[in-house]
Amino acid sequence: MLMACLVAFCLTLANPSVAQRCRQALALGMDVSLSVDTVDFSLQRGGLARALTDPEVMQAFLSDPDDLVYLAVYEWSGQYDQALLVDWTPVVSPATLNGIAEKLLASPQLGRTGRTALGEAMRYGADLLLSQGHCGALTLDLSGDGPNNNGDAPERVQRELQAQGITVNGLVIETGRGEAAGASSGLSPLRGYYEARVIVGATSFVETVFGFQNFEAAMKRKLLRELIPAVASR
């Protein structure tokens, strides 16, 4: 018995991840197609950085220090244009989230196309999440300001992700005429598109924001809603 305990202890020292359970893997994917101009890009990138370092959000990430959230962040546009900004990182302290925020703010704007390959962005996020099969829940948080116009159809990828046990939530960004109409009527055509063709899972949802200037507040609401309790499991 003593020998077995010593072996287990040595294995834990050799592989620290054994002692760090993962309750949730959360991948954040942000649209940077050409419909997102430089001002909107800064509002989106900065909004995410500030949302991640909000005290309430930090508390949600760190609610169980023995059952962690793993976080990854990527940007996407055309069919072959996805870029990983932050690889999988276990969130172990406020310093982790501050470091991720600093990296987001310091990273240059990457090359992109004018296309919006929403289905391919979903598949890229799913591939990231499937590499974290040790986590209790796999969640994709996908932000976008338009429907798919390039690559595989999102509804086809949606069926794939459903079979893989991945939850997909959407953050819809309404701009221009859509912003004015949505603000007055409370309706969002793009929201309906995401609800029908993008989101996956019994607890999935769509958050709508009218204008990139409100991205930070919407991202905070979304993160607080999807950072699940430690007791949840796939």
Question: What percent of the chain has pLDDT above 90?
Answer: 67
User: Is 53 a domain residue?
Assistant: yes
Quick one: 39 exposed, middle or buried, by C-beta within 10 A (0-12, 13-18, 19+)?
Answer: exposed
pLDDT at 25 over 90: yes
Q: What is the largest CA-CA distance in the chain?
A: 70
Give the least confident one: 41-55, 149-163, 220-234.
220-234
Mean pLDDT value of segment 201-230: 89
The domain containing residue 202 runs over which residues?
24-226
- All residues at 6 or more sequence positions from 128 whose CB lies less than 8 Å from its CB, including other chains: 27, 72, 74, 84, 88
> Is 5 part of any domain?
no
CATH number at residue 168: 3.40.50.410
When mean pLDDT is compared across 30-34, 62-66, 117-121, the lowest value belongs to 30-34
Within a domain: residue 231? no
Q: Rounded mean pLDDT of the chain? A: 85
pLDDT at 187: 62
Local confidence band at 139 (pLDDT 50, 70, 90 cut-offs): very high
pTM for this prediction: 0.85
pLDDT at residue 211 in the model: 87
pLDDT score of 233 more than 50: no
How far apart (Å, rounded) are the C-alpha atoms in residues 209 and 24? 25
Q: Does residue 14 sit within a domain?
A: no
- Tens of pLDDT along 159-173? 999 999 999 999 999
Q: pLDDT-based confidence at 6, cuts 50/70/90?
A: very low
Q: Which of 169, 155, 164 is nearest to 132 (CA)?
A: 164
Q: In what order do the strands lie in the sheet with 167-174?
A: 82-90, 67-76, 21-31, 138-144, 167-174, 206-210
Task: Decide: helix, strand or coil at residue 156.
Answer: helix
Place of tokens 């018995």: 1
What is the mean predicted confidence (pLDDT) over 124-128? Answer: 97
CA distance 234 to 12: 24
Which tops the pLDDT comparison, 178 or 122?
Answer: 122
pLDDT digits (tens, 9 = 90+) for 52-61: 999 999 999 9
The per-residue pLDDT for 229 is: 56
- Could you tell me the pLDDT band of residue 203, with boundaries at 50, 70 and 90? very high
- For the chain, the domain total comes to 1
For residue 12, being part of any structural domain is answered with: no
Residue 152: the pLDDT is 92
Distance CA 216, CA 24 (A): 22
Of the listed ranges 61-70, 109-118, 124-133, the least confidently predicted one is 109-118
Q: Is residue 232 part of a domain?
A: no
Is residue 202 situated within a structural domain?
yes
Q: Please check whether residue 63 lies inside any domain of the structure.
A: yes
